[in-house]
Structure 1
Amino acid sequence: MPSKKAIFLDKDGTLIRDVPYNADPAKIELLAGVADGLRQLGTLGYSFFVVTNQAGVAKGYFREEALLGVEKKLQQLLSSSGVVLSGFYYCPHHPEGTVKSYTRICRCRKPMPGMLLQAAATYGISLSDSWMVGDILDDVEAGNRAGCKTVLIDGLRRERKNVLNEHQRPSYIADSFTQAANLIIKSTSHGKV
């Protein structure tokens, strides 16, 4: 029975500044509160996994290989802050892509839970003891479909107005990464959701 617990993290707009279709490591910078929040969560025994849709590959904006530089830069930024990233999962597909080999409907593109399920199977993660943190409802839906608890970071209060189905209802809503981390810490410490 899986016993490890994880926090699955959307990348753009959650961990780093959202620059649409960015594959340039020089433009990657952690958002305020991310390093501190992850360090605190790490003391509770969580492993960290990035799960990110990267439709820019399917749309021909950059090659899949460019994501290696993105992952390396993110690993460096987190490592220099004392945080270990256990895995980096991405979906390069999009049903309306222009690069034929990546143009399709798949099970890994959020809101589907494929990336979370793959990480859980590979690393022995208990999804019911884990969290998905993201800034859009597709992140929340992927986490809920995988069986995780979820936090929507919605500081501009745009997403929370658009809940369409039960899979899009987050366990918690936060205005910042710091608040999201504190909610998880409080929930973990008190054994509540």
Structure 2
Amino acid sequence: MQIIENVILDRDGTIIVDKHYLHDPAQIEFIPGATDGLARLHAAGIRLFVATNQSGIGRGYFTQADYLAVERRMNGLLASAGAPITGTAFCPHAPDTACDCRKPDIGMWKALAATHALNPQRTVMIGDKAADVRFGIDAGLAASILVLTGKGAGQLEKYGLSQPEGPWSETAPLRPGLPHYVARDLGAACDCILHYNASSGTRTT
């Protein structure tokens, strides 16, 4: 892998607790260690992005305006914590709607990459679901990291993988469709990236 300069994050179950069709900004609850981990990435010069499926809009459970209110509140809280989000993409469609933006499809990657000139080989995906892992793989990103918060622990079992002995572990040998790394939570995933960059030399542009 090349030096990592960008991280794309799933939202629910990765950054914040999955409240099941969250649409009230007052209900945002960060997963412990998430804000501090993201602040460490930002301090190291790594740009942060969010790519999130929000099928509650397409299902009629809440409106796009509701989603955007949550996004503004979450991004504001992260910025105040030293972890500003550079860009966000979301899919509003229900699963039975034909679209190319619902993860694991890579429409959101294409949108973010075009807007922010992202190099896939310098970008990592972090999420708690198989769709997040597949998204990173199909987009040709440097790595996909599965976190064990949210639905991640159940997904790890489905993959037939063991819990990491430390905060994170590399998946070896890597089989098709598996995450490159497994991390205890987002904070550990952030430290995994920082450790990789530190061991790979000075960040270049």
TM-score, length-scaled by structure 2: 0.83
- Say which SS state the counterpart of residue 32 (structure 1) adopts: coil
Match of 1:163 in 2: 159
Is the aligned partner of 1:151 residue 2:160? no
CA RMSD after TM alignment: 2.1
Match of 1:185 in 2: 194
Distance in 2 (CA, whole Å) between partners of 1:95 and 1:157 is 23
Match of 1:129 in 2: 122
Give the letter for the 2:157 counterpart.
K
State the 1:82 CA deviation.
Answer: 1.3
Is the aligned partner of 1:116 residue 2:88? no
State the 1:4 CA deviation.
Answer: 8.8
State the 1:167 CA deviation.
Answer: 5.5
- Say which SS state the counterpart of residue 157 (structure 1) adopts: helix
1:51-71 CA-partner distances (Å, limit 9, x unpaired): 000000111101112111011
Match of 1:17 in 2: 17
- Say which SS state the counterpart of residue 39 (structure 1) adopts: helix
Give the letter for the 1:177 counterpart.
L
Distance in 2 (CA, whole Å) between partners of 1:27 and 1:89 is 21
State the 1:85 CA deviation.
Answer: 0.7
Match of 2:163 in 1: none
1:13-36 CA-partner distances (Å, limit 9, x unpaired): 100011001111010121111111
Give the letter for the 2:147 counterpart.
I
Distance in 2 (CA, whole Å) between partners of 1:186 and 1:4 is 11
Equivalence map 1:25-40=2 (5 Å): 25-40=25-40
- Say which SS state the counterpart of residue 65 (structure 1) adopts: helix
State the 1:94 CA deviation.
Answer: 1.8
Distance in 2 (CA, whole Å) between partners of 1:59 and 1:16 is 21
Distance in 1 (CA, whole Å) between partners of 2:197 and 2:57 is 37
TM-score, length-scaled by structure 1: 0.88
Native 8 Å contact 2:4 2:197 kept in 1: no
1:102-161 CA-partner distances (Å, limit 9, x unpaired): xx2211100111112210111111111111000111111101111111110025631123
Distance in 2 (CA, whole Å) between partners of 1:4 and 1:188 is 7
Distance in 2 (CA, whole Å) between partners of 1:43 and 1:167 is 33
- Say which SS state the counterpart of residue 41 (structure 1) adopts: helix
Equivalence map 1:77-92=2 (5 Å): 77-92=77-92
- Say which SS state the counterpart of residue 140 (structure 1) adopts: helix
Give the letter for the 2:130 counterpart.
L
Native 8 Å contact 1:58 1:94 kept in 2: yes
Native 8 Å contact 1:11 1:52 kept in 2: yes
Stretches of 4+ moved more than 3 A in 1? none
Native 8 Å contact 1:55 1:93 kept in 2: yes
Q: In the comparison of the two structures, how many residue pairs are matched? A: 183
1:151-186 CA-partner distances (Å, limit 9, x unpaired): 10025631123239x663111001111211111111
Give the letter for the 1:118 counterpart.
A
